[in-house]
């Protein structure tokens, strides 16, 4: 069996693998798609000490770093069940195999909920964005929309208003759902317009990049178009934890509940990165949390394993 089995191969999983392997313990990584969300990213400018890189390049660097250590990488393997019995964990893969491990680190990440309208897929990374911390500065002085009037949408609009020329926030419902204190701050900003009962129907573009957004006013049934350069979709981040439901404690949003050490509700099972309750979903944070979870797993091993 593995001493540490990591499920997921994004920044959190890669960091956990390097840290575990450097303790000289049997380490494995099973990942559906090594690289994770980083593979879907264009420019990355906030991974400290690397002023600019691109997603596929960083994903390759993560994998190269892991491979320089003694780690068994099982790529293109999706886990579908976790069990812990008598201090030993087992992870069943979709391919039918079962992996056994003394400790497990879950780093299955998350995915942004998409609008599912024409143009969204085509213009992803070409004006359609999901992360204001990541891509906000790309729209300096430009016009953007934020889709979604929950806390993350309103926070994004406030954040972007300080960078871009103009923000239009569109909410499907008749009113915003964000905390009142955020709404008050939003209303105080001169370059933000809020549209409620607005159903986004299409992302418009010129073949190269976004040029506008079409929406329906759900009260009047009229269709409108807003000319703009960027669209930030903030309608939810979904953790990839469906397969863990009923196995360990998840938050109401489906995030794996972890303590400051990355410990989950199951002894010997740790978690890190976007799939957890740790706030702020970013590469550098996921990597740091992955390292922390690996050190916690090692700590668990030296306390529980026979010498």
Q: Which residues belong to the annotated binding site for FAD?
A: 3-18, 264-274
Interface with ligand FAD by CB under 6 A: which range of 115-123, 209-217, 246-254, 282-290?
282-290
Asked if residue 108 binds ligand FAD (CB under 6 A), the reply is: yes
Q: Which is nearer to ligand FAD, 152 or 240 (CB)?
A: 240
Asked if residue 156 binds ligand FAD (CB under 6 A), the reply is: no
Q: Which of 135, 159, 206, 275 is flagged as catalytic?
A: 135
Q: Which is nearer to ligand FAD, 40 or 202 (CB)?
A: 40
Interface with ligand FAD by CB under 6 A: which range of 34-42, 157-165, 196-204, 215-223?
34-42
> 99: phi > 0 → left, psi -120 to 50 → alpha, else beta; which?
beta
Asked if residue 28 binds ligand FAD (CB under 6 A), the reply is: no
Asked if residue 138 binds ligand FAD (CB under 6 A), the reply is: no
What's 223's DSSP letter? E
Whether 275 is catalytic: no
The alpha helices in the chain, defined as continuous H runs, are 11-21, 55-67, 132-135, 151-161, 180-187, 283-304
Instruction: Return the ∠ at Cα 68 (arms to 91 and 292), rounded to 5°.
Output: 55
Asked if residue 152 binds ligand FAD (CB under 6 A), the reply is: no
| Torsion angle in degrees (nearest 10) through CA of 283, 189, 164, 178 | 30
Which CB contacts under 8 angstroms, 24+ apart, belong to 258-262? 261/292, 261/293, 261/296, 261/299, 262/105, 262/289, 262/292, 262/293, 262/296
Which residues contribute to the site for ligand FAD (CB under 6 A)? 7-13, 30-34, 36-38, 40-41, 44, 46, 78-79, 107-110, 112, 130-131, 134, 240, 243, 273-274, 281-284, 286
Active-site residues: which are they? Answer: 131, 134-135
């Amino acid at each position: 069996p593995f001493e540490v089995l990591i499920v997921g191969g994004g920044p959190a999983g890669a960091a956990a693998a390097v840290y575990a392997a450097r303790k000289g313990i049997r380490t494995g990584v099973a990942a559906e798609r090594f690289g994770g969300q980083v593979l879907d990213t264009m420019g990355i400018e906030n991974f400290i000490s690397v002023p600019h890189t691109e997603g596929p390049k960083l994903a390759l660097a993560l994998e190269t770093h892991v491979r320089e250590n003694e780690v068994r990488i099982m790529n293109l393997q999706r886990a579908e069940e976790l069990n812990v019995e008598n201090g030993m964990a087992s992870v069943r893969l979709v391919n039918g195999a079962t992996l056994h491990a003394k400790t497990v680190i879950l780093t299955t990440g998350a995915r942004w909920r998409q609008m599912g309208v024409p143009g969204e897929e085509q213009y992803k990374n070409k004006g359609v964005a999901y992360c204001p911390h990541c891509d906000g500065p790309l729209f300096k002085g430009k016009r953007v929309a934020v889709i979604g009037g929950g806390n993350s949408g309103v926070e994004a609009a406030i954040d972007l208003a300080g960078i871009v020329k103009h923000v239009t926030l569109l909410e499907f419902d008749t009113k915003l759902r964000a905390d009142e204190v955020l709404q008050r701050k939003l209303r105080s900003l001169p370059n933000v317009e809020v549209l409620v009962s607005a159903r986004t129907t299409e992302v418009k573009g010129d073949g190269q990049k976004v040029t506008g957004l079409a929406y329906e006013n759900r009260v009047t049934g009229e269709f409108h178009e807003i000319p703009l350069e960027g669209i930030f979709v903030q309608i939810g981040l979904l953790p990839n934890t469906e397969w863990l439901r009923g196995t360990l404690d998840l938050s109401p949003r489906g995030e794996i509940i972890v303590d400051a050490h990355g410990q989950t509700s199951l002894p010997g099972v740790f978690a890190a990165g976007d799939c957890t309750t740790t706030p702020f979903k970013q590469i550098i944070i996921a990597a740091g949390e992955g390292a922390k979870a690996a050190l916690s797993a090692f700590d668990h091993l030296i306390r529980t394993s026979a010498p």
